Structure 1
Amino acid sequence: MGKILIVDDEEDRILTPLVRQLGRVFGGENVEGVTSVTAALQYAEQESIDVVITDLMMPERDGYDFCRTFRSNPLNLGYIIILSGRDGGIAAGLRAGADVYFRKPYDIDDLVAQIEKGIEVTRNRLFSMQDLLTGLFLRRIFDAVFTLEAAKLHRMPQPLSAIMFDIDHFKKINDTFGHAVGDIVLHDAAQLLKKSSRKSDLFVRYGGEEFLLLLPGASEDKALEIAQRLHQAMVEYTFPQAGQVTASFGVATTTRHPENLVTRADQALYAAKNAGRNRVVTADPERDPPT
């Protein structure tokens, strides 16, 4: 399971006892507590969170602020429970992105039941965003995340890279071994390459036998290093029913024009295919559009 994250600034009176209580039910390794919204959002960047339990009133940033910021990232699917002892505010909490508003003082059994429901809801949300064959995110999720990353780049220039790749001679695999084996190759390749990519990167099935990896903050050198690692993983792996299968990779990086990033990665992939497949090719340097 993913993590249960508790956000409350009253560390001794509420946070620590609640972490201990829930740890006994869900496993201590699955329950984490932080004392601020900022720390919670930083944690969410590193971990997949199933359920967030957040206090409403906290110094600097409140539970509403957490909900809005957390929900702004389409990959943050966690079920949000707001805990509050104040009257009112339910509508504001739900509109900010919370799933349920839980009144203090609460019964621990009621809270546990709500968390169990939240874990199920989060799992269903994730399932709706995944490609059934490979388990990777769908292309529409890439579009949503890419829009956010492009907006960040325009506000604060930093590298944004993409690796586009596909299985070489995939039609031949289907024709030789059958579509069932072809599906297994796609699934196994996706899982193999996912293990070789960074946790912070977005890995999607772009269509057919084509995949796309979005790498926020990765320089051209870093993206090339990752692509070469993915390529090497394919070279060293023997697929149980199809034997040796290779893939071609196209790498592109932008610091100014994210709207052209995927096209440039696709062009680099096309160049890799034309050069004989089973290789990594980097896109031409980024150019400013004509004025």
Structure 2
Amino acid sequence: MADKILIVDDNEKIRNMVRRHLSKDGYQILEAQSGQEALDVIKQNTDIPDVILLDVMMPGMTGFETCTELRKLTGGELLYIIMLTAVTEINKKVEGLDRGADDYVTKPFDMDELMARVRTGLRTAKGRRDAVTDSLTEIYNRSFFNTILSSEAALSIRHKRSLCLVFLDIDHFKRINDTYGHGGGDAVLKSIGTILKSLCRKSDIPVRWGGEEFAVLLPETDIGGGEKFAENIRKTVEAHDFEGVGRVTASLGVSILTTNEQDMIKAADTALYSAKNGGRNKVVCFEHNML
């Protein structure tokens, strides 16, 4: 898959010039002529861009304001943002860096310099993704989950929004490994990751929890919405034909944030245990009488 670059500039001539040069190296190019349009482009795409070229001075939302909003998006901390600034705006570099920019290129810029900075940005963005991504399933790893959970919980409490957690465990996974080998087991894990990505919204956070366990953090989702989401996963897994293995089922536990993050994790784990203990291939929502 080609590296993805988003060009954000209200000047069409600059966008066209940059696009022509970047396209020669095979990059996938997205364009936006305003900060709000840039946010909309990212929200509408399944995969976030690797590098963003962001003009500082734009009508409406400035590059500084856009940079701040980009960092707030799920996965926004993985972006590599290069700000494009005129010579007279050099004194604003500090503000841009404080807002979350990674680098600056001064207008009128030399295209060779810009291309070199883009290549540097792509290497950095890849390193950031690798650090938070499970290499087998290509979804977030547990380390990233631990990092982002506190901020998501704080946002939910501050804005009085629901936050839901779904745990998934592949049923009889040891039997799959014993029967089909670790290659077969790995293929199942990878397919589960693909299924989760296909069913998640842009704001949802799918995670390889460890072994055959997965988790999905669902912002702005109550227990009913979480149960519906989990049931959709269960049915999709049950209906899926896993290559070389055949049919597989999964058990899922659902909880919501009430007091703190750790209690939410314990509640989802308790609900998952109840699902497995109750016959597997089912969804169970946490209830206090389970304790």
Q: TM-score range by the shorter chain?
A: 0.7 to 0.9
- Residues 246-265 of structure 1 mapped to structure 2, 5 A cutoff: 246-254=249-257, 257-265=260-268
- Residue 117 of structure 2 is matched in structure 1 by 114
Residue in structure 2 matched with residue 241 of structure 1 by the alignment: 244
**Cα displacement string for residues 164-217 of structure 1 (whole angstroms, at most 9, x for unaligned residues):** 011111112222222222222211222233223323210010111100001111
The answer as to whether partners of 1:22 and 1:31 remain within 8 angstroms in 2 is no
Deviation per CA, 1:256-280: give whole Å up to 9, x if none. Answer: 6544222211111111001000111
The 8 Å contact of residues 19 and 31 in structure 1, kept in 2 or not, is answered as no
Aligned partners of 1:55 and 1:190: how far apart in 2?
A: 36
Give the secondary-structure state (helix, strand or coil) at the position aligned to 1:83: strand
The answer to whether 1:271 aligns with 2:274 is: yes
How big is the alpha-carbon RMSD for the aligned residues of Structure 1 and Structure 2? 2.7
For 2:234, the equivalent position in structure 1 comes to 231
Gaps of 5+ in 1: 287-291
The answer to whether the Cα contact below 8 Å between 1:202 and 1:215 also exists between their aligned partners in 2 is: yes
SS class of match (2:83):
strand
TM-score (norm 1): 0.84
How far off is 1:20 after superposition?
2.6
Structure 1 distance, partners of 2:129, 2:211, is 21
Q: Does 1:125 align with 2:128?
A: yes
Could you tell me which residue of structure 1 aligns to residue 53 of structure 2? 53
Question: Contact 1:193 / 1:233 at 8 angstroms: preserved in 2?
Answer: no
Report the identity percentage: 38
Amino acid of the residue matched to residue 52 of structure 2? V
CA contact (8 A) 1:272 1:280 kept: yes
Q: CA deviation at 1:133?
A: 1.6
Question: Offset of 1:46 from its aligned partner?
Answer: 4.5
Q: Give the Cα–Cα distance (whole angstroms) in 2 for the partners of residues 112 and 31 of structure 1.
A: 16
Residues 90/193 of structure 1: CA separation in 2 closer, same or farther (3 Å cut): closer
CA change 1:2–1:176 in 2 (3 A) is same
- Aligned pair in 2 of structure 1 residues 44, 194: CA closer, same or farther (>3 Å)? closer
Note if contact 1:51-1:119 (Cα within 8 Å) is conserved in structure 2: yes
| Aligned-residue offset at 1:255 | 5.9
Question: Relative to 1, partners in 2 of residues 1:218 and 1:172: Cα closer, same or farther, differing over 3 Å?
Answer: same
| 1:281 positional shift | 0.9
Contact 2:6 2:32 in 1 (8 A): yes
Partner secondary structure for residue 90 of structure 2: coil
Instruction: Find the counterpart in structure 2 of residue 32 from structure 1.
Output: 31
1:6 aligns with 2:7: yes
Q: Is the 8 A contact 1:138 1:206 kept in 2?
A: yes
Aligned partners of 1:22 and 1:263: how far apart in 2?
A: 50
Q: How far has the Cα of 1:248 moved from its partner?
A: 0.3
- Number of aligned residue pairs: give it: 280
Q: Is the Cα contact below 8 Å between 2:8 and 2:15 reproduced in 1?
A: no
- SS of aligned partner of 1:218: coil
Is 2:192 aligned against 1:205?
A: no
Which residue of structure 2 lines up, in the alignment, with residue 82 of structure 1?
Answer: 83
Q: 1:60 to 1:2 in 2, by over 3 A?
A: same
The reply on whether 1:220 has 2:223 as its aligned counterpart is yes
